[in-house]
């Protein structure tokens, strides 16, 4: 079974390629390497013993996308990661975000709707819920107005897929709304490689501990939470990767109830920023240099998943603890900088 993974050299994409190959899928990766490198292929090969097919294509190049699907007619499933994901940057260059995240999605769906049978998995985000009124967050919680063009591309992306599935019955799709993916593969052959100064908490922690950054700023200590810092649902990237393989299998085996479905992918447990720091210090034995700082604009107070639908309907459950995820993130950071 041949599967296309767009953005397959990226953080979540590469871990998903590993899990797909472990399950016997033949994987073709499309990536433009704008935020990744071809060396990731070596890591995937070391872990799985197999090298996926790789085509360096920019999905904004519509003729190349059409040509790809003509050459790979046996691709029946697509997992679509390729997208830009920096919230702050999206505010500065919104049209680039709409072109990268929306234009490319349309081109892919235009090719998939030509097929007799196609399965599509979309990377969505818990950002679509904004600050939810109730916690934990279920899939039926209302989608709130997006805080950024990036968040908006996830909302619009979901709507585009839903509208397309309504009129293309042979197209089956699942949007996975990820909570906060962290960690790295246990082998330390693949992991997260943020360009420049990391915007996300865990790479900032590990880069501070290794000496690349001087100090972590904890954004806000006056939130109405257990210790005043924001609460998130941190999920190990390997657990998240496995959710994609299960979701794809559900569609390919026609086990889906609707031809467009949405699942939250999180652990169900909320952790505060200070709890994440404590976990890091415990598993690494390092003391982290951090200070309390102002709130970051656009941050919500608390977000964690109700995982009942994913557990019971999708048949997937996160298995890794926060400590485990933090220890793999630290092992990876040490390896990359050694």
Q: Rule CB under 6 A: which residues touch ligand UD1?
A: 85, 87, 125, 127, 151, 180, 199-201, 204, 216-219, 230, 232, 273, 296, 298-299
Residue nearest to ligand UD1 (CB): 230
The minimum distance between CB 180 and ligand UD1, in angstroms, equals 5
- Please state the closest distance from residue 189 (CB atom) to ligand UD1, in A: 22
Any catalytic annotation for residue 150? yes
Among 25, 107, 150, 290, the one annotated catalytic:
150
CB 299 to ligand UD1: min, Å: 5
Collect all residues with Cβ–Cβ distance below 8 Å to 44 and sequence separation of at least 6. Answer: 14, 17, 18, 21, 50, 51, 52, 189, 190
**At its nearest, how many Å lie between ligand UD1 and the CB of residue 219?**
4
Closer to ligand UD1 by Cβ: residue 82 or 87: 87
Segment (H or E) for 210: helix 201-210
157: cis peptide before it, omega within 30°? no
Q: Which residues fall within 8 angstroms of residue 148, CB to CB, at 6 or more apart?
A: 87, 88, 90, 91, 298
Q: Quick one: 98 or 219, whose CB is closer to ligand UD1? A: 219
Nearer to ligand UD1, 298 or 315 (CB): 298
Nearer to ligand UD1, 161 or 273 (CB): 273
The 3-state DSSP class for residue 223 equals coil
β-bridge partners, 69: none
234-236 and 171-178 as β-strands: parallel, antiparallel, unpaired?
A: unpaired
In 3D, which of 143, 157, 35 has the Cα closest to residue 99? 157
List, by residue number, the catalytic residues. Answer: 150
């Amino acid at each position: 079974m041949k599967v296309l993974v767009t953005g397959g050299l990226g953080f979540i994409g590469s871990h998903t390629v590993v899990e797909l190959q472990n399950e016997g899928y033949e994987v073709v990766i499309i990536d433009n390497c704008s935020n990744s490198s071809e060396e990731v292929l070596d890591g995937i090969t070391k872990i799985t013993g197999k090298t996926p097919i790789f085509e360096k294509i920019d999905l904004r190049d519509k003729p190349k996308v059409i040509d790809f699907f003509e050459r790979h007619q046996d691709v029946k499933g697509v997992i679509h990661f390729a997208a830009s994901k920096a919230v702050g940057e999206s505010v500065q260059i919104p049209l680039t975000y709409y072109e990268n995240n929306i234009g490319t999605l349309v081109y892919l769906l235009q090719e998939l709707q030509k097929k007799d049978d196609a399965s599509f998995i979309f990377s969505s985000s818990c950002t679509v819920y904004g600050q939810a009124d109730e916690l934990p967050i279920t899939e039926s919680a209302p989608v709130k107005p997006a805080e950024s063009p990036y968040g908006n591309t996830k909302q619009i992306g979901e709507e585009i897929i839903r509208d397309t599935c309504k009129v293309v019955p042979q197209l089956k799709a699942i949007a996975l709304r990820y909570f906060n993916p962290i960690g790295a593969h246990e082998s330390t052959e693949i992991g997260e490689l943020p360009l420049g100064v990391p915007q996300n908490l865990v790479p900032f922690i590990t880069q501070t501990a290794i000496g690349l950054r001087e100090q972590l700023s904890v954004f806000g200590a006056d939130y109405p939470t257990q210790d005043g810092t924001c609460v998130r649902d941190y999920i190990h990237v390997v657990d998240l990767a496995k959710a994609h393989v299960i979701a794809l299998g559900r569609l390919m085996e026609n086990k889906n109830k609707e031809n467009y479905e949405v699942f939250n992918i999180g652990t169900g447990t909320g952790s505060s920023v200070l709890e994440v720091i404590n976990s890091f210090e415990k598993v690494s034995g390092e003391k982290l240099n951090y200070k309390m700082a102002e709130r970051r604009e656009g941050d919500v107070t608390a977000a964690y998943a109700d995982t009942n639908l994913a557990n019971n309907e999708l048949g997937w459950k996160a298995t890794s603890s926060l400590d485990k995820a933090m220890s793999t993130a630290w092992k990876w950071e040490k390896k990359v900088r050694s």
